[in-house]
Amino acid sequence: MFSQLISAHIPTALRPGLQLANSWQFGQFHKKLLNAPQQQQDWLMRRIRGCRETGFGRDHGFAEIRTLEDFRRQVPVSEYAYFAPYIDAVAAGRTEALVPAHEKLQRFTITTGSSGTPKLNPVTNVWLKELKQAWAIWGMKYFADHPTHIGDKVLQMAGIWEMGKTSGGYSISMVSALLARVQNPLLRPFYAVPSDLNDIKDPEVRYYTALRLTITERIGWILLMNPGTLIRLAEIGDQYKEDLIRDLRDGTLSERFDIPRSLRALLARRTERPNALAAQQLEAIVNQTGRLLPRDYWNKPVISCWLGGTAGYQSRYLHEYFGDSPLRDMGLVSSEGRHTIPIEDTEPRGVPSLTSGFYEYVPVEEAGKPHPDVVEGHELIEGQDYYLLMTTSAGYYRFSIGDIVRCRGFVGKAPLLEFIQKGTRVGDLEGEKLTEHQIIEAAHDTAADLGIELGLFTAVARRLEHQHPRYDFLVEVDSLPDAGLAQRFLQLLDEKLEGKNFLWRARRREGVLANPNLIRLPSGRWEQYIAEEVERRGTGDFQYKHPGLVLDGSWVDQFTPVDIIPLKSN
């Protein structure tokens, strides 16, 4: 392994200390899991008492709330629009609308906004403290479970730190950038790339620069939320392998990439020293394998990214690029906080973050009702799906962010939760109730059966004049380069969807849903689309989630296909 030629581990004597600290910390958290209902209600009542004099608290009678039943009676289940007037007031400087007098508003984070309209989230000192506690529980166990990598470098890239100001003068950041800034100072020497690297807007340039800095490092940990980003990082390294080898041999940072001069000067200490031995080792890898992939220059780093939900399906291809690296789910994380804490490798599930919020659950069949049934975590039924409601120290109460989670069991009295999808992404052209999760699962199952790696994939629900409605499936031609293979993929995908959704089967056989089409896009079109979306939203590409299902049929009009392959009728 090339990475074994590089710097040595931190003294192994430190490993037992970390594991001992984790044993104590997670032991304390595990006790809370055993008594989760009481822990949750205690947290809620403390929060209610502390926020009685806020504008929201007065408007909703917090002074009269004594029980969970009182809370549910006084505060409705709501989406972001309900809180927007209060958040706007805070952003303008009237912090008392949501923030109690004994707390301090520090700044705002911003969502990536699937609607294209980013939303602000207040960051108070209490919310930030609780967020750091939740990440510490997750992170300590993540590191302690893999002691052989302790002392290795951490590859982590974050979002944008300074995204503007509110009308009241408060700074706005991506939550990942905020976390990077408030990390434990003891960990900073182990981070492989400087935070300034995150300011490079072009992802291709950013990934190349990150690899130029890290390809000769002993990388033991990789933390990037989106597995697709990790695959793209590996592909960039392979695509520009000659440049990387030349830069290492000559002690340069290629001028073909548009890197700000100020950043080049900052990185010069790490890039200006020639390393002929490293270049020789990389050349040997290329000569032997024909490619330059992380599986050959890094030693099975522990990867944390999304493993669940529609974005997580790309993680099944990581081993092709990174070898047998252990995988740990990042958990359900949003700009509003860390909501679940995964506690084991491979499985896309975690327990609720009991120390940083109060969580309730609405069975999916209750969604949309004026007075839906709402249950606590210990009342969930294994295998059933629920909408997640959160109450946090950022000023949200019974906030539905539209996420559907599935109960996968219990730890003590706390449920193990797997993120499934956004609840709004359900196709209903003719009553088929086809979910984004079903589509992406079927597409990747189809790819696995055919022995191919499926890149980004999107279904579009379309209503066309004088035609039966249908679904179009979009994929780059690189994934399905042969028209015959593409036709087999489409046929098998249709069969997979029939097996996952009996309404899809019924509507297709009734003829009210027309045969789907497979639209093959030119190579690189998804990357272009992502760049356009990132520019439109202005929130960076780090947490970009590719849509598995689009309900606006006109969305497909922005693409010029290589060809359109219809499903042949049997």
What are the tens digits of pLDDT across the range 418-452?
999 888 888 888 878 898 989 999 999 999 999 99
* Residues 6+ positions from 398 with CB-CB distance below 8 Å: 72, 75, 76, 77, 78, 360, 389, 390, 391
The alpha carbon of 156 is separated from its chain's Cα centroid by a whole number of angstroms, namely: 13
Query: According to the model, what pLDDT value does residue 201 have?
Result: 83
- Choice between 38 and 203, residue whose per-residue pLDDT is larger: 38
pLDDT at 7 over 60: no
Mean pLDDT rounded to a whole number for the chain: 91
pLDDT at 2 over 60: no
Confidence of residue 549 (pLDDT cuts 50, 70, 90): very high
**From the CB of residue 64, how many other CB atoms can be counted at a distance below 10 Å?**
11
With vertex at residue 403, the alpha carbon angle to CA 532 and CA 341, rounded to the nearest 5 degrees, is 105
| Conformation bin of residue 434: beta by default, left when phi > 0, alpha when psi is -120 to 50 | beta
- 221-234: average pLDDT: 91
| Helix or strand run (H / E) with residue 26 | helix 14-34
Query: According to the model, what pLDDT value does residue 309 have?
Result: 84
**From the CB of residue 211, how many other CB atoms can be counted at a distance below 10 Å?**
24
Query: According to the model, what pLDDT value does residue 313 have?
Result: 83
CA distance readout (Å), 487 to 93, 149, 181, 481, 518: 58, 45, 49, 11, 8
| CA-based nearest residue to 321, from 339, 301, 338 | 301
CA distance 98 to 57: 8
Report residue 70 as tokens: 């009182």
Q: Which residues pair with 124 in a beta bridge?
A: 105
Confidence of residue 226 (pLDDT cuts 50, 70, 90): confident
| CA-based nearest residue to 473, from 462, 482, 481 | 462
Interval 248-285: pLDDT, tens? 999 999 999 999 999 999 999 999 999 999 999 999 99
* Residues 6+ positions from 472 with CB-CB distance below 8 Å: 459, 460, 462, 516, 517, 518, 519, 556
483-500 and 436-450 helices, crossing angle to 10°: 130
- 332-348: average pLDDT: 94
Confidence of residue 209 (pLDDT cuts 50, 70, 90): very high
Confidence of residue 543 (pLDDT cuts 50, 70, 90): low
Amino acid at 127: W
Dihedral angle sign, alpha carbons of residues 459, 315, 128, 43: positive
Query: According to the model, what pLDDT value does residue 538 have?
Result: 67
Query: According to the model, what pLDDT value does residue 288 have?
Result: 97
- 486-514: average pLDDT: 90
Interval 372-423: pLDDT, tens? 899 999 999 999 999 999 999 999 999 998 899 999 999 999 999 999 988 8
State the burial class of residue 141 (Cβ atoms within 10 Å of its Cβ: 0-12, 13-18, 19+). Answer: buried
- Choice between 12 and 140, residue whose per-residue pLDDT is larger: 140
Interval 78-126: pLDDT, tens? 999 999 999 999 999 999 999 999 999 999 998 754 444 578 999 999 9
| CA-based nearest residue to 244, from 254, 259, 235 | 254
Terminal C-alpha separation, the chain: 51
Q: How many Cα atoms occupy the beta-carbon half-sphere of 364 within 13 Å? A: 20
State the burial class of residue 110 (Cβ atoms within 10 Å of its Cβ: 0-12, 13-18, 19+). Answer: buried
Q: Which residues pair with 108 in a beta bridge?
A: 122, 172
With vertex at residue 395, the alpha carbon angle to CA 392 and CA 401, rounded to the nearest 5 degrees, is 65
Query: According to the model, what pLDDT value does residue 111 have?
Result: 77
- 178-193: average pLDDT: 81
In contact, 207 and 213? CB cutoff 8 Å = no
| Conformation bin of residue 114: beta by default, left when phi > 0, alpha when psi is -120 to 50 | alpha
CA distance readout (Å), 97 to 52, 57, 170: 11, 8, 15
Query: According to the model, what pLDDT value does residue 117 have?
Result: 56
Q: Which regions of 300-444 does DSSP assign to beta strands (E)?
A: 302-305, 327-329, 333-334, 337-338, 340-341, 351-352, 358-363, 385-391, 399-411, 414-422, 426-427, 434-435
Query: According to the model, what pLDDT value does residue 5 have?
Result: 31
Interval 478-497: pLDDT, tens? 999 999 999 999 999 999 99
β-pairing verdict for 333-334 and 327-329: unpaired
Confidence of residue 539 (pLDDT cuts 50, 70, 90): low
pLDDT at 160 over 90: no
- 167-176: average pLDDT: 91
CA distance 151 to 13: 11
pLDDT at 455 over 80: yes
Confidence of residue 510 (pLDDT cuts 50, 70, 90): confident
| Conformation bin of residue 431: beta by default, left when phi > 0, alpha when psi is -120 to 50 | left
Amino acid at 210: A
- 180-189: average pLDDT: 76
- Choice between 310 and 332, residue whose per-residue pLDDT is larger: 332
With vertex at residue 156, the alpha carbon angle to CA 150 and CA 158, rounded to the nearest 5 degrees, is 150
